[in-house]
Amino acid sequence: MKRLISAKLGWKTGTAIVIANMIGAGVFTSLGYQLQDLQNNWTIILVWALGGLIALSGAFSYAEVGTSIKESGGEYIFLSKIFNPLIGYLSGWISLTVGFAAPIALSAIAFSKYSGIEFLDEKVLSILVILFISIIHSINSRTSVYFQNLSTFLKVGLIVILILCGLFIDSSIVQQQNFSFNQVRIEVLSIPFAVALIYVSYSYTGWNAASYIIQEFQNIKRDIPRALIIGTAAVTILYVLLQYIFLKHASHEELQGNVEVGAIAMRNMFGIKFGAWVNRGIALFLVSSISAMVWVGPRVGQKMGEKYKLWEFLDSGNKIPVNAILFQSALSIFMIISGTFEQILIYCGVLLTISSTLVVVGSLIIRYKNSYPNAYKSPFFPLFHLIFISISIWMVSFAWFDKPFECSIGLVNLIIGLGSFYIFKKV
């Protein structure tokens, strides 16, 4: 197996990785769940804009931490060094068990729904696409770079075309809503708004993707901030415009509770026949999302395998982490077989929010200690850090009230991770 070529990625490839990780199933599926409790279009637009602000705030903070510690592995490495090995291990456990496996499973499920392939069962098709992409990323790093850049370019191009068409095509859906401050204020202060933000935060998952492969960049101090911030800002703009297009071309009744919100809007825009082809295009660029997560996620397992004997089988040294790729794929396949779409989305979103919030808290500690004076410094300190921390705490707290079962699954996951940590210590 060929060795990884270190320090070969530039900020453009890094940006492509961030964009590909972020634009996945969530933006084409979660609106239907949000409309079950929120009725005002402006509230929906606001929740997506706020999700972008949270992600961008996190990107600024991660840019500081990443250019300070300069080691691949994401939250696992960051929290281990800033706080202690236990917190780092639990964060790595989250990434290893749900952080990438769950989004891969959800994107694969969305792929099967949008593809229009009827001769295969949806679950079988979802599993096959995961296995296919896992094989591609098990070959060598050069193949991964080419495949990722091409698929991301096609994905962004198609989304821009869909947005432009949606803006200029007239809609027969009559649901124009004037901005009502009181109605929006009531919905914003409600528990469903906080839960909707959980869905949206899941859709923005991936803004921190470049932090998992830091050591593979040419110029860490320059490339990591650019990749994180430019990628996150670009996706925020695309997301807000996409939700506007969906709301413009599909009624609330059509969208409520449905996973295939993008498909519904496309059929209304282009007609049943042409809309089906657009949906197949959406399915193809979900491949880019799965690819990015299959590429990045196993690096966490590889890092954990270097230190913990329990995960030693995931460590491939300097080679492509094939074992970690296969392990992650197996977890994704298990989730496809056993879980429901909404439950996976909620408990995954809560766990990832907790993990990333701890990293942002850690970035405050690094800045105040001035431990790494030559690292990137985010502007308006500590504005972005406080925005991320305060909204994340508010969001997770309300999620516990509205979705206790899903949050309890996440808690059980952490308890199992804690047990595995101490079992390793005894071993």
Is it the case that residue 369 has pLDDT exceeding 70?
A: yes
150 CB-near residues (< 8 Å, 6+ apart): none
Structure tokens of 311? 């995960």
Per the prediction, the chain carries an average pLDDT of 81
| pLDDT at residue number 352 | 82
Task: Determine the Cα–Cα distance for residues 234 and 364; give it in Å rounded to an integer.
Answer: 26
Is it the case that residue 126 has pLDDT exceeding 80?
A: yes
Residue 74 backbone class (left: φ over 0; alpha: ψ -120 to 50; beta: rest): left
Residue 236: band (very low, low, confident or very high) from pLDDT cuts 50, 70, 90: very high
Identify the three-state secondary structure at position 54. helix
Q: Provide the residue ranges of all domains of the chain, joining segments of one domain with +.
A: 11-420
| pLDDT at residue number 184 | 75
Residue 374: band (very low, low, confident or very high) from pLDDT cuts 50, 70, 90: confident
| pTM for the model | 0.80
Report residue 365: phi and psi, to 5°. -60, -45
Q: What confidence tens digit (pLDDT) does each residue in 260-290 have?
A: 787 788 888 877 777 677 777 778 778 878 8
Is it the case that residue 418 has pLDDT exceeding 60?
A: yes
H helix count then E strand count, the chain: 20, 0
Residue 422: band (very low, low, confident or very high) from pLDDT cuts 50, 70, 90: confident
Q: What confidence tens digit (pLDDT) does each residue in 152-181 have?
A: 777 788 888 888 888 888 766 655 555 566
Per the CATH hierarchy, to which homologous superfamily does domain 11-420 belong?
Answer: Amino acid/polyamine transporter I (1.20.1740.10)
Q: What confidence tens digit (pLDDT) does each residue in 198-210 have?
A: 778 878 888 888 8
Q: What is the DSSP letter of 174?
A: -
98 CB-near residues (< 8 Å, 6+ apart): 344, 347, 348, 351, 352, 410, 413
Task: Determine the Cα–Cα distance for residues 414 and 416; give it in Å rounded to an integer.
Answer: 5
Identify the three-state secondary structure at position 9. strand
Residue 237: band (very low, low, confident or very high) from pLDDT cuts 50, 70, 90: very high
Q: How many CB atoms lie within 10 A of CB 352?
A: 25
